[in-house]
Amino acid sequence: MTEKPKIGVYVCHCGINIASTVDVEEIARYAEEIPGVVVSKTYPYVCSDPGQVLIREDIENQGLNRIVVASCSPRMHEPTFRKTLKEAGLNPYYLEMANIREQCSWVHSDSEEATGKAKKMVAGAVAKARLLEPLEEKEVEAEPSALVIGAGIAGIQAALDIADAGFQVYLVEQTPSVGGRMAQLDKTFPTLDCSACILTPKMVDVASHPNIELMTYAEVEEINGFIGNFDVKVRKKARYVDVDKCTGCGDCAKECRVQRVPSEYNAGVGNRAAVYLPFPQAVPAKFTIDPEKCLYLTKGKCGKSPKCEEVCQAGAINFEQEDEIVEFRAGTIIVATGFDIFDASRRPELGYQDYDNVINALEMERLVSASGPTEGKLLIGKGEDQKEPKDIAFIKCVGSRDETVGNEYCSRVCCMYTAKLAHLVKEKIPDARVTIYYMDVRAFGKGFEEFYDRVRREGVRYVRGNPSEIYQQGDKLVVKVEDTLTATPREDEMDLVVLAVGLEPRLETKQITDLLRLSQSSDQFLMEAHPKLRPVDTSSDGVFLAGCCQGPKDIPDTVAQAKGAASSALMPLSKGMVKVEAQVSEVDESICRGCGYCVEVCPYGAIELEEVNQMGHMVQVAKVNEALCKGCGACVAACFSGAVQAKSFRDRQILPQIAVLGGLKDE
């Protein structure tokens, strides 16, 4: 090392967050005695502007060349303090942090022990800081395009925003149409906007936007690379319909020999044919043959010849069609994969599986919708016995706030969609008696409380209690419940029971986390980088979250988050450059023996063997491609000779830390 380390230690009070448990003054006095430390101070909030000025001035006036900040987690403020160093003209990698908040003051209550531990942590950080090295931050060009996965309202909004900003968007949707869950809804709370009316214009926009390449009935198969340059492979599944020829007339579906496939769009309440358009306003308005239901595709035979092929005047049916693989490069990625509804059969006492007239809220949504199978008429029973239900019950928190089914969280939308559905029932059947069984009513959003009041004024009865059982008696369903406000057991007779099911992470969430190296929260939704301050970011740079894949939320929140994700995804695109990891591996050629173990363990193919001339001998040595290296350090641990080292995490930077934490007395 050329220069003698002159270390500055800054111990943060963090108000009382640290100072109430850890004796910060004592830490500063202790640090002052460590060889190499020239300045040791405490400050109420080191991350604040005056706190940073303090560090900058000391660097400039006292010639500090290493900085140790003992405060919160480096995951929180490392970037902040790196910037401080940079502003003072010091290399930003001359910083080491001691995490005395998250991993000390907040988790230990004994002041003496916590202070003792914090001392060691600070000493460890100083030991490492002495041996830090300056690193260079490099930039590479970013591909000016984004991938958006999922074309519900979140994906649609994010794609439109990025495309409107002038960048290419690849929008990938796994079903045959864009629209997602929002397309299934009838009205939206609390304004009673018609869901389709506000959504369909946006659906048409994404299909016609010159900057958006829409891929429906497609799945992302592979993603490699990093922020700025993700290599994406998408499988466009065979529709067995030539989309360029299909006019969307629907003759094929009318004539199809398989007509009784439960319609996904209608939540299974209605049927569709094996060749289908998910719903009338679907975008693109192109038919798709369901390969699992089509007779010709499953059995190889459909009458004399497939009816669809016979009637299609455009000649669009093509049973020879194969999946198509599309490959492209994207600078950033937005995940907007949405949610699944809770499967009500996991609460067997509520009879969802046993009784036809116990339905879930999404089925109810389709029943009251004008575009639904009953054209908006709310009817129960079959054939001649069909009639309007008069006594209708809604049961809230089915699959939410319920540890027994593994979902501790509130799904946030059920209170209001229940109120909305109750309102729609009263609109269609004014003399209906509607009862809502609830645990709590959470009407927290803009206009929510007003809407809840309105629904109650309309005569909807709210009963506080969580029903324990639903059973049939004659042609009625009986809801057994205790009214917990009056402590009265009740057995209420109903014609129709609607279960207000909660929102759950999609089954495919695991595929997404594997594809993109994302984490899941304890509720299994995708995890954001920081719950408060980085709500659309993920732990993978350049990958952002929008909508219900991150947690239950209503449409306005989803749109807001999608716009946030779009703006975050746009930053690297509009800048055109992204930083590459500076803390990468490096090979000391003079001691590398050229065994190639590092080459084998590198998950990114960032190391290659190369022939070099050493004292007249041609020998093989490892060489790191810094643009590909992510700094994980797998190669370092694999290296026998210690020739490969990870910058900022070198053996000689970690071992002194171990020695300090081990804490033997220097003899």
Partner 1 sequence: MSDNFEPNIVAFLCNWCSYAGADLAGTSRIQYPYNIKTIRVMCTGRVNPLYVLNALQQGADGVLVSGCHPGDCHYMEGNMYARRRLGLLKDMLEFVGVDPRRFQMSWVSASEPHKWKEVVEKLVGETRELGPFEQFQRNMINW
The contact pattern for partner 1, residues 43-82, with x = CB under 8 A and - = no contact, is ------------------------------xxxx------
With CB under 8 A as the contact rule, which of the stretches 145-153, 193-201, 359-367, 513-521 interacts with partner 1? 513-521
101: contact with partner 1 by CB under 8 A: yes
Location of structure tokens 């699992």: 292
Among 540, 558, 561, 568, indicate the residue that binds partner 1 (CB under 8 A): 540
- Of the candidates 224, 156, 234, the one whose C-alpha atom is nearest the C-alpha of residue 516 is 224
522's CB contacts (< 8 A; 6+ apart) are: none
Applying the rule CB under 8 A, the residues between 108 and 147 that interact with partner 1 are 108-110, 113-114, 116-117, 120-121, 124, 127, 131
Pairing of strands 358-360, 496-501: parallel
656: contact with partner 1 by CB under 8 A: yes
What is the Cα–Cα distance from 504 to 548, expressed in whole angstroms?
Answer: 9
SS3 488: strand
373: contact with partner 1 by CB under 8 A: no
102: contact with partner 1 by CB under 8 A: yes
The contact pattern for partner 1, residues 435-474, with x = CB under 8 A and - = no contact, is ----------------------------------------
533: contact with partner 1 by CB under 8 A: no
Task: Select 121 or 160, whichever has its Cβ closest to partner 1.
Answer: 121
Task: Select 97 or 294, whichever has its Cβ closest to partner 1.
Answer: 97
337: contact with partner 1 by CB under 8 A: no
What is the Cα–Cα distance from 69 to 129, expressed in whole angstroms?
Answer: 10
Task: Select 214 or 527, whichever has its Cβ closest to partner 1.
Answer: 527
Minimum CB–partner distance for residue 77 and partner 1 (Å)? 12
How many residues belong to the site for partner 1 (CB under 8 A)? 61
Q: Which two tokens stand for residue 569?
A: 């995804």
What is the Cα–Cα distance from 578 to 573, expressed in whole angstroms?
Answer: 9
526's CB contacts (< 8 A; 6+ apart) are: 335, 505, 509, 512, 513, 518, 519, 520, 538, 545, 549, 550
Q: What does the H/E/C string look like for 323-356?
A: CEEEEEEECEEEECCCEEECCHHHCHHHCCCCCC
Among 20, 80, 103, 281, indicate the residue that binds partner 1 (CB under 8 A): 103
What is the Cα–Cα distance from 660 to 88, expressed in whole angstroms?
Answer: 29
3-state helix, strand, coil in the chain (%, to 5): 30, 25, 45
Minimum CB–partner distance for residue 596 and partner 1 (Å)? 15
Among 222, 591, 637, 641, indicate the residue that binds partner 1 (CB under 8 A): 637
With CB under 8 A as the contact rule, which of the stretches 251-259, 456-464, 613-621, 657-665 interacts with partner 1? 657-665
- How far is the CA of 63 from the CAs of 57, 58, 86, in angstroms? 9, 7, 14
652: contact with partner 1 by CB under 8 A: yes
On whether the CB atoms of residues 571 and 361 are closer than 8 A, the answer is: no
Instruction: Please report which residue ranges of 383-485 form alpha helices under DSSP H.
Output: 414-428, 448-457
630: contact with partner 1 by CB under 8 A: yes
Binding site for partner 1 (CB under 8 A): 73-76, 99, 101-104, 106-110, 113-114, 116-117, 120-121, 124, 127, 131, 513-514, 517, 519-522, 527, 539-540, 583, 601, 603, 630-634, 636-638, 646, 649, 651-652, 654-659, 661-667
